[in-house]
Structure 1
Amino acid sequence: MSKFPIMHARSPQLSSTDIAARLTEFLTAMRQQRRMKAHAEASEQASMKTDGLDDDPYVVPKDTRAVFLSNADRQAIERRAGRLHKRQLKAGGLAHLNREDRERLSSLDNGVSLAKIPDEHRADELAAALHTEMPWMAVATEYTWHAMRRSVREGHAGFRLPPVILDGPPGIGKSRWATRLGQLIGAQSTIVDATGESASFGVVGCQRGWSGAGPGRLLELILAKMSGNPIMVIDELEKAGQVVSSKGTPFGLSEGLLPLLERHTAENWICPFYRVRFNMSWVSWILLTNNVALLPEPLLSRCTIIRLKEVPLADLMKFAEREGQDRGLSETSISAIIDALASVSPQARPQPSLRSVQRMLDLAANLENTHRLM
């Protein structure tokens, strides 16, 4: 499978030590050739002087001693190797980085893999599986299904879900749906809690000089998994904090995401920490909110907004049954949970959520484990 060249910069093929070794080998061979040539000329002259006499192989002995380089020679080689290496670093776009950073990014030299939908039939199967597990997310699943089929028809090198905002009440399984999507299509994914990220630094990285400077969760995931089209899930985006510089420049998560949400700017995205260009155009962004009205207009204009509702009680009961069976719970525990859900009035507020059902399943599992240990 061919690799996707995600990093625009490139590490030098040879280190300074490798270049010095090649220069040493070249200089040694060149001087040896000169010595052999000089000896050959001397032998020819000696042969002319003894012309007519008996051959004497010892008249001009052949010097076969090895050529040794002086300290001055070796110092000159090291200086030249250093200059050549710096030229290669500059040409590759990595001259400004220290050795540790260059070594870390060198893993991207040969490219990264892209998760791909092989054909439309597979797209149909994946969408059907996702819908079966979470039918209340049908609108989001349909959006993804069309994206998968389109990636096949247009012959894309990998799958990319156009930026989408899933807006709906808490506890309906938005993050669970996004994570499951990544598992089904074979793409790496990560969930970032926006309430725990100070501005955009935690996701896209931070320039050196700021406390806690680093490359950000996006590039960290790519470096760890060698995947060029991960699914980045930002939970509760509207609650993300914001930092303002002394000059009044905002460093909010929403502002930091803008260049990554459009393909033509994402193709030449510059990491604030490494100051190196990367092609992030294949990254999928799923933004989760409880109140989309709190997001800025520039971000909204770059995304498709899908509004979701509470999970119907019937779907919660089916989920409890399927999840309980997957966890190996007894029929008694599963039936108790389903009966509890069935007793809830449709007019009751708040209605049970997917999160509350998961807590009920956790409690049942703990009780059964405790009973087994007694």
Structure 2
Amino acid sequence: MPTPKLPFLLTRFDSDVPHRSDISSRLREHLMRLRGHEIDDTVEIWDDTTGAISEHDLTRIHRRATAYVDRLRAASGTAHLKPDEKARLASIKDGVRATTITTEARADEIAAGLHAQMPWMAPATEVAWHAMRRCAQEGAPVFRLPPMIMVGPPGIGKSHWARALAAALGVPTTLVDAAAEAASFVVAGMQRGWANAGAGKPLDTILNHRVLNPIVIVDELEKAGAVRDTSGTRHNLTEALLALMEPKTAARWECPFYRVPFDMSGIGWIMTANSRRGLPEPLLSRCPPLVLPPLTLSDLIGFAQREGAARGLTTPALDAIIETLQHHRDRANALSLRVVQRMLDRAEQLERRPVLN
């Protein structure tokens, strides 16, 4: 359920800095009081008929007010941003909402739904279930899913499970393809000066949805590589992930593009791999992989029946899909959840098309 807004942007806006004239007025009023002159609401501070303030005083006040405002703007962290960038961050300067689990019954309900939908994903469901129950027991304002690495054959529904969990929690998701050449930039963002400079997908997701704890799916982690920029600096996906996964660094993480700190500690990281071979050791030491079994024909048929019923497919359509799956029982290894989903999509399209007379 949603909670009150929580801090996310960890800096002050330069638009919140007081105007120099306001500071000057306050300094002048303070000086007049120090010199024994009464100030009330009917007196204009800049109308000095008492002779308490000299031209030299005014010069000093102006200089101090200017220096003070300049220091505040420099410390704000947003003075360097363009107007459109400031406008985007302004939408979250008062905080963003977060999703939490308030009762253990709710945790049980979500876990039971995931298990009923994809029973072969039990190891991952159990991790999420314990995390949800712990959140409810502690009364935590933010549900924080511990980072996990799921290792299993392609097509068993690892990413599908992650999206199903996000849907049950009511949080947004985003997908990062670790096999992409610039995956580290997609995660952390790219600093100014590059042609494709911008924020990374995790930060973009939070800014777009204004939710502190989205789920970020990193697909095919074992294929992650590193790239070098024109100066020869190496950019590694593992390093980018570690900075965002470690609680201390994530709680005050500075975006390379915006160059301001954000609290990224609420993100739930779900990483998938087809094989343990090639997985980065620093990630393995922090996230022991969950090894998932290959799908059986029974798993595929059960998924088709449940998903087909949820889509409202007719019995003949479901029977045709199940018959097709059983016909290929000798090639069960070639079947996958993606194949079943395509079959369900095709059946749904055929049933919904208009009847031609």
Q: AA paired with 2:247? A: R
1:29 corresponds to which of 23, 39, 44: 44
Post-superposition offset of 1:180: 1.0
The aligned residue for residue 366 of structure 1 is: 349
Post-superposition offset of 1:197: 5.6
- Does structure 2 conserve the Cα–Cα contact (< 8 Å) formed by 1:231 and 1:283? yes
How big is each residue's C-alpha offset from its partner over 1:175-199, in whole Å with a ceiling of 9 and x where there is no partner?
Answer: 1110111111122222223334613
Q: Distance in 2 between matches of 1:110 and 1:371?
A: 50
Q: Distance in 1 between matches of 2:253 and 2:188?
A: 10
Q: AA paired with 1:177? A: W
The aligned residue for residue 143 of structure 1 is: 127
More deviation in 291-300 or 97-106? 97-106
Alignment of 1:1-374 (within 5 A): 1-12=3-14, 14=16, 19=19, 22=22, 29-32=44-47, 34=48, 85-196=69-180, 198-245=182-229, 248-345=232-329, 348=331, 350-370=333-353, 372-373=355-356
Structure 1 unmatched ranges of 5 or more: 39-72
Q: Distance in 2 between matches of 1:325 and 1:100?
A: 46
Q: Distance in 2 between matches of 1:161 and 1:5?
A: 19
Post-superposition offset of 1:281: 1.4
The aligned residue for residue 58 of structure 1 is: none
Q: AA paired with 1:364? A: A
SS in 1 for 2:216: strand
Give aligned pairs, total: 332
Q: Distance in 1 between matches of 2:195 and 2:342?
A: 38
Q: Distance in 2 between matches of 1:102 and 1:86?
A: 18
SS in 1 for 2:289: strand
Post-superposition offset of 1:232: 0.6
Residue identity over aligned pairs, in percent, reads: 46
More deviation in 241-250 or 270-279? 241-250
- Does structure 2 conserve the Cα–Cα contact (< 8 Å) formed by 1:310 and 1:353? no
SS in 1 for 2:198: coil
Q: Give me the TM-score of the superposition, normalised by structure 1.
A: 0.80
Post-superposition offset of 1:369: 3.7
Check 1:102–1:370 CA distance in 2 against 1; reply closer, same or farther (3 A cut).
closer
SS in 2 for 1:165: strand
Q: Distance in 2 between matches of 1:190 and 1:89?
A: 34
Check 1:23–1:349 CA distance in 2 against 1; reply closer, same or farther (3 A cut).
closer
Q: Distance in 1 between matches of 2:181 and 2:101?
A: 32
Structure 2 unmatched ranges of 5 or more: 29-42, 52-57
SS in 2 for 1:342: helix
Q: Distance in 2 between matches of 1:147 and 1:212?
A: 37
More deviation in 136-145 or 314-323? 314-323
Post-superposition offset of 1:90: 2.2
Post-superposition offset of 1:247: 5.6
Q: AA paired with 2:10? A: H
Aligned-CA RMSD value: 2.8
Q: AA paired with 1:3? A: K
